[in-house]
Amino acid sequence: MGARLFLAFDLGAESGRAMLGSLRDGRLDIRELHRFPNAMASLRGHLHWDIVQLFQEMKRAMTICASEVTPQPESIAVDTWGVDFGLLASDGSLLGFPYAYRDSRTDGAMAQFFQRVPRERIYELTGIQFLPLNSLFQLFAMVRDGSPLLAAAADLLFMPDLFNYLLTGEKQTEFTFATTSQLYNPVKAGWEVELLDALGVSPDIMQDIVPPGTVIGPLDDEASRDTGLARVPVVATASHDTAAAVAAAPAQGRDWAYISSGTWSLMGVESAEPIITERSRDLNFTNEGSVGGTFRVLKNIMGLWLLRQCRQAWQGERSYTYRDLTELAQSAAPFAALIEPDHPDFLSPPDMPEAIRAFCRRTGQREPETPAHFTRCIFESLALKYRLVLDQVRQVYPHPVNRLHVFGGGARSELLCQLTADAVGIPVIAGPTEATAVGNLLVQALALGDIASLADIRVVVRESFPVREHEPDQTGDWDAAYARFQELHEGAVNQ
């Protein structure tokens, strides 16, 4: 039997890629067909996503695929970053550019909504961690501000569902994404009407929820005509990018945790059921859906966004690559300065290096001076944050954790992975670096019957992609650094 081809769109907050997967004899080969930039666009004081440009880039990739790839792919699927959504009018037209999750309109929204529904009740209903960017609080901000867009909306579609609609004309919401919104009840397995009622938003604007690996429908006539692709099936893959990445973890058993390492670091465990307890609430763990009806019990950690924003700030003096910065950091003195990566000052500052310097000044530490010092500070602080979260995982997860899988872009950095192993004290298995695209592709194969289960997906991943194992060494210095970090963390929490 010949190779089966699948086309994955993996859209991140920094860039989008069209990845072609070829599955033959239990092995997956991937290659990039097209890469294009993505960024939040500022329009009259608000941050939005340019969905029109993104869709044009997707069609360009499909055109490339139609002209260069034989045979044509068996299916197409889209995954994206989380929480954001678009609104449709009753005639199916798009009501404006979707807001981006870092937009300031959610400032104060959490505290204000807690006056309608207490924090404890929201967590009891949803099991989702509290972040101002969550879909719940984005919707509340629109309600609070009297948004005419929301008043005119007939349908709400999350970002991957919106692209599926543009490709097929069909409106559905995929499970892994629905669970991240803080509008979904994982116990009832449906939208939480109590919260929608508290918002004053009709449940009618929400879509039917389908599991990952559902065929949404064929590519519509317009998309087929514009790109030259046949009317191939469009699949609702694990459409939240972290869900796709976790599906591609080359793991076995259940004594492992993971970090999906990119702009954000998503760290947690895979659980057969959601973990919704007072302790998980107090520790701010979230319960997000995954493939096979499992749940990602995890925490969002500010990840390589910190280094990305520093790198952008330094472009005036030199255009550093991530490899350049990692090599410079190798020779920098360890533990010279530490930060709490999740401090609110790092969410969207105008000048990230200055935000880091200001944090160090406030906490009585020597300020980083060079890109080497900043990079070392960021990497060590992330590694210590991972140790803190792993300690918290062990308080809510009933199984031992003996290995840590790191996948995504951060798995490329041998320094970050080694520092993480040293900090957490257990082996770190790094790879695959393209886990999100791999998970997207293999869930498509699951949808079309080429793969039978999540366990089989992981067999294919282990057979197809090499990993690197980092054993922990140095422990004494890390223990002292961890004690310092815990003080910084407590100071940030209690600020």
Give the catalytic positions in this structure.
Answer: 241
Q: How far apart are CA 125 and CA 133, in angstroms?
A: 18
Helix (H) or strand (E) holding 143: helix 135-144
Q: Which residue has the tokens 């590694």?
A: 383
Q: Is residue 328 classed as helix, strand or coil in its secondary structure? A: helix
**8 A C-beta contact, residue 463 and residue 442:** no
**8 A C-beta contact, residue 21 and residue 5:** yes
User: What are the E-state strand segments in 83-189?
Assistant: 85-88, 155-158, 173-174, 184-185
Reading the block at residue 393, the tokens are 């995982």
Q: Where are the alpha helices (DSSP H) in 70-118?
A: 109-113
Q: What are phi and psi of 454, to 5 degrees?
A: -60, -40
Q: How far apart are CA 18 and CA 68, in angstroms?
A: 13
158: left (phi over 0), alpha (psi -120 to 50) or beta: beta
Q: How far apart are CA 324 and CA 455, in angstroms?
A: 38
Q: Rounded to the nearest 10 degrees, how much is the dihedral formed by the CA atoms of 12, 136, 106, 130?
A: -80
Q: Which residue has the tokens 């009891």?
A: 124
**8 A C-beta contact, residue 147 and residue 123:** no
**8 A C-beta contact, residue 268 and residue 283:** no
Nearest to 43 by CA among 99, 119, 121: 99
CA distances, 263 to each of 172, 250, 343, 429 (Å):
27, 21, 15, 19
Q: Which residue has the tokens 């255009």?
A: 319
